[in-house]
Amino acid sequence: MSGSRATTLYFFLPLAVAAACASSSSSPQADTASLDRDGSVPTASPSADPLAPPEGAIPIPKESQRTSGDPARGYRAVVNEGYVSLGIPWSGFSFAMTPLEARDSLPGREGKNALVGYSNNVVTNRDGMELAVPNCLVCHASRVNGKLFVGIGNPAHLPAIPSGLATNQALVSMGLTTSAEVAEYQEYFAHFVAANSAGVLFPFGALAAHRDPQTLAWSSSTRFDARTNLQGWVDIPPWWRTKKKNGLYANGMGRGDHVEHMMNMSVFSVADVAEAEQLDAMFVDVAAYLRSIEPPKFPYAIDLALAAKGEKAFVKTCASCHGTYGSNESYPNLLIPIEMVGTDPSLAENPWPNPDAVAWFQSSYYGKRARLEPSRGYVAPPLDGVWATAPFFHNGSVPTLEGVIDPAKRPRTWAMTFGDSDFNPDAVGWNTTGSGLSYDTSQPGLSNQGHTFGVALSVDDRRAVLEYLKTL
Ligand code: HEC
Ligand code: HEC
């Protein structure tokens, strides 16, 4: 295996297996009576209203967003433009790339973009050099039943390496034609190495550490130690949720202006503030595109009578945290302390930007309109299109909705196969009996514990709620 591919994999693995120290994997199950309120102001008085926020839940307030963007321009930018400005010179990339299969192409790809796999764009940098660069869809696109959806998180916690890419470093090097191209390729790798240096696979902090927060100038030395004790990884949420969420990310820490959070991956390659300003303008459109995405419809028959019964049980048992759906929809934007939801605590306790990286963010270009506010809990996410977003919970530990509702149906270890014929419409999620990396829920950060709210339901109501979730 070439060094190129290994390095690429390492960089793009969305999250962390960092320190070897194991944290205790047992944490209290949901128990609303004995909550550590985490400094929150109680929001609900005891009431019969099933939509009142549960006691201990922390509301995430709405903040103003820049909404003037154009969704069509935003999509065009995501799949064509140069928001990543370091990459593989086209001479080497085109020399080494595998043939593009139709299933890995996307609508709306312009010029050379139409020639490469969906997870890369072909752009021209400031010096006029053509580059193949990774785009957002390395992590934010996925297939269900063989159909590719832009905006569904890649469930494999691995970078998408479709056809139409160049991953063989030796071949790429053979195709490079000028010393400027060789230098560009080397700089690209230097930034990959920097991303890996913290031992945390989500590279934001590791890359930020190399930059002056105000000028964004890159330095080969680092300003802070970007390591965190985070274990496990973060499942990638679907983009269509962003229009409802006041706080982005699993722990709701992405506060203030969403645009600046959406462009924070540019710490990988941005040259200076002037380039960041251009990206900021582009990402107003990208944010509009993300807000415009409608979740796909469940592609199989739904028992509507059963789903209607399930809606009643859902409103009683689930809606206080997850909101209501349909013509009178509501979404409460609640952060639920880990003691209350009981899912794996690693991310809530050790968020990927450690305190130094958070401080860098607040004082940086990205922090002009946005803030990172990590807290010890997880957002109860909107459940629109949830059928298409398995595996579930922030660490992707539960492969089906059936298992979310009924903890007895959560496999302890399962194969992360995610193949074109692995979607299971009955359990709603993935069949996990194929071959693939094993997901071992006994590993630190990967526990499938907690969120036992479905236990309160009768067996029939669980079945009905599952049917209802297919309609969202
Ligand atoms: C290396 C993989 C990777 C790439 C590339 C990437 N993301 Fe993400 N993205 C993630 C992960 C992982 C999360 C979840 C992090 C968390 O919840 O802590 C995330 C979260 C998000 C969220 C928050 C969603 C929510 O519901 O809270 C948005 C918005 C987003 N990404 C947009 C983008 C955009 C736009 C791009 C391209 C400019 C991009 N991402 C590139 C991995 C990636
Ligand atoms: C007390 C608040 C609360 C209640 C009540 C609640 N949930 Fe949740 N739910 C959460 C939180 C918080 C998460 C995120 C947990 C995590 O990521 O670790 C979540 C996650 C989920 C997810 C996974 C979403 C994803 O994309 O990974 C589903 C599905 C879900 N809940 C369904 C339900 C159903 C069905 C019910 C009722 C039986 C319910 N929830 C009741 C708080 C709640």
Question: At 201, is the pLDDT very low, low, confident or very high (cuts 50, 70, 90)?
Answer: low
Higher pLDDT, 116 or 226: 116
119 contacts 154 by C-beta, under 8 angstroms: no
Specify the ligand 1 atom closest to the Cα of 381. Answer: 26
* Contact partners, residue 394, CB within 8 Å, separation at least 6: 234, 235, 250, 251, 343, 344, 347, 378
The answer to whether the CB of 210 is under 6 A from ligand 1 is no
Point out the domain boundary residue: 247, 266, 292.
292
Which ligand 1 atom is nearest residue 242's CA? 26
2 within some domain:
no
Is there a single domain that holds both residue 271 and residue 306?
Answer: no
pLDDT at 19: 24
State whether 339 and 213 are in the same domain.
no
Residue 80 sits in the same domain as residue 129 = yes
Q: Are residues 455 and 322 in the same domain?
A: yes
Taking only the tens place, the pLDDT of each residue in 157-188 is: 878 899 999 999 999 999 999 999 999 999 99
Q: Can you give the pLDDT at residue 159?
A: 81
Q: What is the pLDDT of residue 20?
A: 25
Nearest CA to ligand 2 atom 42: 380
Q: Is residue 413 part of a domain?
A: yes
Same domain for 300 and 382, yes or no, is yes
Residues 279, 313 within the same domain: no
For residue 242, the ligand closest to its alpha carbon is 1
Taking CA atoms only, the protein residue closest to ligand 2 atom 16 is 393
Higher pLDDT, 380 or 50: 380
What is the total count of domains within the chain? 2
pLDDT score at 190: 87
> Both 143 and 213 in a single domain?
yes
d(CA 154, ligand 1 centre) in Å? 10
Classify residue 3: in a domain, yes or no.
no
Q: Which of 266, 292, 318 is the last residue before a domain boundary?
A: 292
Q: Which two tokens stand for residue 460?
A: 């029939």
- Ligand whose nearest atom lies closest to the CA of 379: 2
CA distance 67 to 285: 8
Distance CA 143, CA 450 (A): 28
Residue located nearest, by CA, to atom 30 of ligand 2: 404
Instruction: Please check the confidence at residue 34 and state whether its pLDDT lies above 80.
Output: no
Q: Which residues' Cβ are closer than 6 Å to ligand 2?
A: 54, 250, 317-318, 320-322, 336, 340-341, 343, 378, 380-381, 383, 386, 389, 392-394, 401, 404-405, 451, 453-454, 465
The answer to the question of residue 288 being in a domain is yes
What's the whole-number mean pLDDT along residues 267-288? 95
Cα(375) to ligand 1 centroid in Å equals: 18
Q: What is the pLDDT of residue 117?
A: 97
For residues 184 and 286, state if they share a domain: yes
23-40 mean pLDDT = 33
Question: Is 96 near ligand 1, meaning CB less than 6 Å away?
Answer: no
Q: What is the mean pLDDT of residues 189-202?
A: 72
Is residue 78 assigned to a domain? yes
- Residue 211, phi then psi, degrees to nearest 5: -120, 150
Q: Please check whether residue 264 lies inside any domain of the structure.
A: yes
pLDDT higher than 80, residue 288: yes
In a domain, 1, yes or no: no
Residue 28 pLDDT greater than 50, yes or no = no
Report CA(337)–ligand 1 centroid distance (Å): 22
What is residue 109's predicted lDDT score, i.e. its pLDDT? Answer: 98
Confidence of residue 432 (pLDDT cuts 50, 70, 90): very high
Regarding the beta carbon of 463 and ligand 1, being less than 6 Å apart is answered no
Q: Does the predicted TM-score (pTM) go above 0.75?
A: yes
Which of the residue ranges 45-59, 76-90, 301-315, 415-429 would you say has the lowest mean pLDDT? 45-59
> Residue with the nearest Cα to atom 5 of ligand 1?
136
Whether 341 and 275 map to the same domain: the answer is no
Domain that holds residue 176: 71-292
Which of 259, 292, 325 is a domain's end point? Answer: 292
Q: Is 249 in the pocket of ligand 1 (CB under 6 A)?
A: yes
Residue 329 lies in a domain: yes
310 and 278 together in one domain: no
Q: How much of the chain, in percent, has pLDDT values that exceed 70?
A: 89
What is the pLDDT confidence band of residue 47, given thresholds at 50, 70 and 90?
A: low
| Closest Cα to atom 37 of ligand 1 | 136
Is there a single domain that holds both residue 317 and residue 227? Answer: no
Q: Which of 49, 339, 341 to mutate to test the pocket of ligand 2 (most atoms within 8 A of CB)?
A: 341
Q: Is the pLDDT of residue 44 over 60?
A: no
Residue 177 sits in the same domain as residue 303: no
